[in-house]
Structure 1
Amino acid sequence: MSELHGDVFGHVIQAGKIGSVQVGAKSHQALHGLPRASPTFTGRTAELASLAGAPLSVVSGLPGVGKTELVLHFARQHSFPGGVLHVELHGYDPDRRWTSERALESFLWVLGVRETPPGEAEKAALYRSLLAEREPMLVVLDDASSVEQVTPLLPAGHQVIVTSRHKLTGLTGARHVELDVLDVDSSVALVGSTELASLCGHLPLALQIMAALRETEPERPDADWADELREAQFDLLDGLQATFALSYNALSVEQQRLFRLLALHPGDGFTVECAAMLTYTPFPQTRKTLRALRTAHLLEPGYRFHDLVRLYAKDRLAEEPDTEREAALDRLMVYFTGRSAKADQEFREQNTPAALEWLDDNRATLISAAGLAHATGRHKDVLWLAHCLYFLLRIRSSTSAWLEISELAESSARELGAEDAELEALNEQGAALATAGQLREAHDLLLRTAQRALELGMHEAVLRAMSTVSRVLLLGGHTDDAIMVLHSALAEAEKLHDDQASYVLLGNLGAVLLHQKRFTEAIECLEESLRRDEDGSYHAISTRNQLGIACLGTGRLQQALLHLETGLATCREFGDIAAEARLRLNLGRVLFALGRHAAAEQAWTASLDGMRAVETPDNIAEAEELVEQFRVGR
């Protein structure tokens, strides 16, 4: 393989570790994403009533006025049989702001979708299609900054509530609920003093913190608290900031330090383990300190920052000596890279479902951590995080995050002069671009990557790039060209005795031959791929599904049955509804061919149920057609 060339292109699915296997995450209940409401919520009777019955509402008001709390309490007062979807859009934080496409990916995952469509429009269409079949739901779009940010997230037939600091008057048909500060009676009910309520500006967040402070010294006169609050206001010229300052000053030195260092964390919530790494303190001690911050209302339920408190913590971070701040950030990166590497290894090598679930649950935070590492010159950490996330983002088809992390890795690899990591990042970019529908760009990038790897004598990188190119050719309809590329790459892999590359390439070749209905040849390639797959189990789901189809095509029905049933057992182990639905579709065909018509109908019906939960309308239509054909034929 001394020269690479080509001028055809097509859609691509990355063929790195496991070829084109489609994987699903554990399906969470939609309601689980709703944060816990504050037990000190008070008042707002009229505002709560105004949200009832409105298909689309916008709750607007000052920061800290209680917009989110209002919606959380409304959600818990009403029944939504289909569940509740909630996303924090961070519209006013440029470093953490979510795009509508990222929010769609999050919603689709919660709804059980295992592989997201490539573009935002396609994701939005699938999202609306899935919600159209569900019972009434509540969709909460929290902290939006513009109409454009929320428009793709608006489904028909369900109640939607948007919170924002702006009125978002461009949202047609929305009921606008403008939230003011609390009335005097409700404010006094929280802090027990008219003067303190006034000094807090009647803002719920400030009042909650002030109430928590009073509980720490119940014997202290309210007049003393008022004097201290006025002094803080004089310095800060802001009632809310003054309350933060008062609460912060009342903390112990240890509690203040953790509060400051938590501002380094790029995610929305903190685990005890992560907080302990920041401060380098034992877990029991860290847990106690986190509880103190929660009691002081400087952390929300679930150990999360309110956006305004996060900004205040960032301001106080300047008090931390530079050496301590850098050491804490180093420890944070050790935590993220170590934990993600452990989860990635456990899943790849031991097929542990819990490891994949952890990566799924934390991927947004890990991508943000990679961005933080890149911005602070921790380029080795970027490469570690990227390497651990590539597999997950590939099987999830999470194109925006996939491109983001691979571009960060490419930049960091160049900074370090790490050519192998740079080539890996370029290959991932090519796969992500193609999955996003940018086919020409993907094709050209992959060929350049393969050519550069060849010039550097990095044969594994050549094989990786050509494996992905073969998928481009196959899914672009250029099957003969794909076969030529795969045979060339396989010959190179055999020379290098690279079994890992060989099993991927053999799997891809089997898929191309299956596409051409060359069933016997496909079976030979797929069985050899299965034999060389050292990891086995989970990674073999796609191969066994293809073998089932190929064996059916040659009349080897018992072999087809064995492959499909083995693949189904693995799907059930990992809770992979999407892959299970596809295998059941083919299982039904095999059972029908065996004359087991009742079992075939049962398999197709189960497939249809699974596809309705997680699949696209085209796949659902295929399953529906098979079930209907059987019933008509019967």
Structure 2
Amino acid sequence: MGNSINGGEFETVIQGHTVNLVNSRRHPTPSGLPARSLFVGRSELLAEITAASGTCLLAGLGGIGKTALAVEAAYRLREQFPGGTLFVDLHGYDNARLTPEQALDTLLPALTDLPAPPGLGAKQQLYRSLLATREPALIVADNAATPDQVTPLLPNDPRHRLLITSRHLLTDRTLTPRHFPVDVLPESVALLTELAGPSDRHPALAELCGHLPLALRIAGALLTERSPEELVDDLTNTQERLTELDYGPDLAVRATFDLSHRQLTDPEARLFALLGRNPGPDIGLPAAAALADLPERETTRLLRTLTRAHLVTTEHKRYQLHDLVRLYAAELPCEEGGLDRLIDHYRELRTTGAEHPNLLAVAEAALATGRHLDAAYLAHTVVQEGLLHRRLNPAAEQLFNAVSEALGIPTDTAAPTFIPYKEALAAARTPEEQRAANELGLEVLRMEYGRSQDYSDGYRRVVLFHIALVLGWLERFDESRATLEECLTLSLEFDDAFHQGQVLLLLERPEEALAAFERADATAEAAELRAHLYGP
């Protein structure tokens, strides 16, 4: 019987009978990373990523620099993965989105010369079998939109690592990555300096770009055509900022946000557009529910979905939009009525506390849309709480004066006098100075009460309440008590239970005050008073 050798070209072979061999020449070690780009900052996050093991997910807003971070981490990890580095762009957010089978078709040629078998299951089996015979390898799956895009790429050998980037938090029964949130770039000025050289306008530019790496890189490109001063002027116009932050199809902020927006369902897109109309710096759940005219439970579900998509951020139960995302959301088509619902919500709010910046922002929006009395009420709510705690709020004073001017109040009446009164109160350092400031305040408030007959009953009660407060500070206790009794009469007449509770507390009738707070659903005030009366 004749001998035969088949399967390729070989050097010395010991022949025993018929020998069948595959090609002994080793498949080259894959190195499929994109070119390394300029990278600045994020040293702590990079250290955490490179020290991690298993499957890792870099998640964040579009344009936040996830791909650049993943590529930089992969370059720094090359020596730890002698089996090579594989890279696939899954295009999860654009029209060229890869299916899992297409993703494997992209990766398999880097591992073998064998033709890929038909079918997802067969391709996945070959992929994992090839990885099982290799030294440790790193796989980078960029721009994944859903877990099903990356689950078939999971290696079944813990020596290998999968590094994923996505605009969403991704997890399912099989995919349980360690999440690394990617936020705005703290070293944004340093990046601008590397891109365009030093300038004292870079801090202002970085702020206008929202410290978003994509916007910063666009700004760096635009600085080859314009001076930093010109670019700052161009970006200061909020109506044109997203249009200016465009340097072609691959460097455009609006186009990048479009890719995220098109993933939203209709209810999610509706709430997102409404959030772009919120004038305040952030929003709580009750205000968001009022803005959307939805139950809080449903609003919570939608906000969580937007948060998982990194279009909204949340901290301490407050929700925010990145500055550029807010501008984008404000451009979207949106129903009428959201701002009116928000104004009504803040008018009914009993305990404002941390809401002062939102009250002032909404008051400014109310003034701009002609709801002058609502603007006056909201601005004065902040003013009166400043009076109550003896704190000066110049922004509230300025806005209140603007409302007064819009309402046609003469400039020689009380409104402009509020500012010198508050300044005097804030500057007072001695009992004599405090008394002089409060004497001025009493005069101002009485003038204001005299003209308050032309405004809402709620406004009259507020002014009268503060006259009683100032009289107490001046130790004119009989007059203060008589004024409080007048306040109580007005509160009872107009069924304002919350105001009744405030007045009854100062009249030293705490049990009645507690009942009033409970009728007003003022839960925080009622709980505090109940604990004071009856113990925790």
| TM-score, length basis structure 2 | 0.41
Task: State the structure with bigger RCO (CA 8 A, min sep 6), 1 or 2.
Answer: 1
Q: TM-score, normalised by structure 1?
A: 0.36
Name the larger-Rg structure: 2
